[in-house]
Amino acid sequence: MTALFAGLISGTSADGIDAALVEFDDHGHPSLLTSITHPYPAPLRAHLERAVRAQAFPLAELAVLDAAIADAFGDAADALLTAAGVEAAAVSALGSHGQTLGHYPGGVHGNTLQVGDPNRIAARSGIPVVADFRRADMAVGGQGAPLAPLFHAMVFGSESERRAVLNLGGIANLTILDPGCDISGFDVGPANTLLDGWADRHGHGRYDTGGAFAATGTVDRVLLEELLREPFLAAAPPKSTGREYFNLGWLDVRLGVQHRDPADVQATLAEYTVTTIADALKAYGTGVARVYVCGGGVGNTDLIRRLEARLPMPLASTTELGVDPDFVEAMLFAWLARERINAHSPAGLANVTGAQARAVLGGVWLPPRKL
């Protein structure tokens, strides 16, 4: 029997909630039925930005954000079902990633914090919610990220060639898929997060549309070398990162007081993203026949052009494999919800996240019973 699951995520970029309604066939193969991006209301986005930048804010604000973000996720689920013309009762479960406020892997008490109270989403939608995916992996020593590689293997894997899947979100993550079995994956470094921050600071909006700003600049090789000295890049997987590490504060320390043309810095940041990806593929992607790209960065023409110029293998959007690159992550959370509800094999991938065991990912929140 086919089954419907929905997936909801707002990623590192906090640009809005991507929502996907996914139909799974008898073999568990997913097809994307309907997808929408539901923007955060402007005041909530401003609140969220402040919170993420501040790194320290009152507990009361954290509690309020948890509820406000949940309500925005509830709105997104609502809008998705309306767009699809599907009743809530027809959806088996809703997988919600929530919004990451902080990701601190490693150490004795490493942890990761996603907010968007699942109780509220379940009460609002009337659909069982599966959420809190990352902490189960962290509880057994994993990084809690990336979670996508198993899903990438199922949807994008090939029996005959070695492939890579490159997700260009706020952070870039890379999955290497060998024909047959082996799957590896890790966070490479910043994809869009520094580009977004710098574009915003210099009056180019929340992101550099098409990479037009970067395209007018000249790469500053000295600065690029300085940025490339970042130890995270040379560290061996498993590894994951986020905005609490790669942010404008991080960049400002490296820029120092020297005056630089803002467009040149933007071009250098684009080249930085591309160089870190090329280096990661050189180290871990020997024999990769093709790189399939997904995530919002697919819309950055300048970034894609630079990648094409730099990578030794051809690049293609996941569209070529029949999947909309903007909704791969949302589909992942629909899939994770199904894995959890149907109690399939644990979805955690120890050799990707570094966990000591494969954990069953996600808790289940049932809608409150109506009296």
Ligand X SMILES: Nc1ncnc2c1ncn2[C@@H]1O[C@H](COP(=O)(O)OP(=O)(O)O)[C@@H](O)[C@H]1O
CA 45/CA 98 separation, integer angstroms: 14
Select from 98, 118, 296, 346 the one that contacts ligand X (CB under 6 A). Answer: 296
Residues in the interface with ligand X (CB under 6 A) total 20
Show the tokens assigned to 344. Answer: 């399939």
| E strand or H helix at 5 | strand 3-10
Q: Could you tell me whether strands 129-131 and 290-294 are parallel, antiparallel, or unpaired per DSSP bridges?
A: unpaired
Q: How far apart are the first and last CA of the chain?
A: 31
192 touches which of Mg ion, ligand X, none (CB within 5 to 8 A by kind)?
ligand X
- Nearer residue to ligand X within complex by CB, 122 or 219: 219
CA 331/CA 318 separation, integer angstroms: 13
User: Is residue 297 within the footprint of ligand X (CB under 6 A)?
Assistant: yes
Q: Could you tell me whether strands 163-168 and 183-190 are parallel, antiparallel, or unpaired per DSSP bridges?
A: unpaired
Query: By CB under 6 A, which span of 73-81, 188-196, 264-272, 333-341 interacts with ligand X?
Result: 188-196
Give Cα separations from 80 to 35, 77, 128, 295, 354 (angstroms).
Answer: 7, 5, 16, 19, 35
User: Is residue 189 within the footprint of Mg ion (CB under 5 A)?
Assistant: no
Binding positions for Mg ion, 8-27, rule CB under 5 A: 11, 13, 15
User: Is residue 102 within the footprint of ligand X (CB under 6 A)?
Assistant: no
170 touches which of Mg ion, ligand X, none (CB within 5 to 8 A by kind)?
ligand X
Give Cα separations from 31 to 177, 327, 362 (angstroms).
Answer: 21, 11, 22
CA 190/CA 171 separation, integer angstroms: 4
Query: By CB under 6 A, which span of 91-99, 206-214, 268-276, 363-371 interacts with ligand X?
Result: 206-214
365 touches which of ligand X, Mg ion, none (CB within 5 to 8 A by kind)?
none
User: Is residue 170 within the footprint of ligand X (CB under 6 A)?
Assistant: yes
Query: By CB under 6 A, which span of 217-225, 231-239, 255-263, 290-298 interacts with ligand X?
Result: 290-298
Under DSSP, the state recorded for 159 is S
Could you tell me which residues come within 8 angstroms of residue 2 by beta carbon, excluding any fewer than 6 positions away?
A: 23, 24, 25, 26
CA 146/CA 153 separation, integer angstroms: 13
Inter-residue contact 142 to 131 (CB < 8 Å): no
- Nearer residue to ligand X within complex by CB, 122 or 337: 337
- Nearer residue to ligand X within complex by CB, 196 or 271: 196
User: Is residue 273 within the footprint of ligand X (CB under 6 A)?
Assistant: no
Binding positions for Mg ion, 46-75, rule CB under 5 A: none
Collapse the DSSP code of 172 into the 3-class scheme (helix H, G, I; strand E, B; otherwise coil) and give the result: strand
User: Is residue 285 within the footprint of Mg ion (CB under 5 A)?
Assistant: no
Contact positions vs ligand X (CB under 6 A): 11-13, 15, 169-170, 192, 195-196, 207-211, 295-297, 299-300, 329
List interacting residues with Mg ion (CB under 5 A).
11, 13, 15
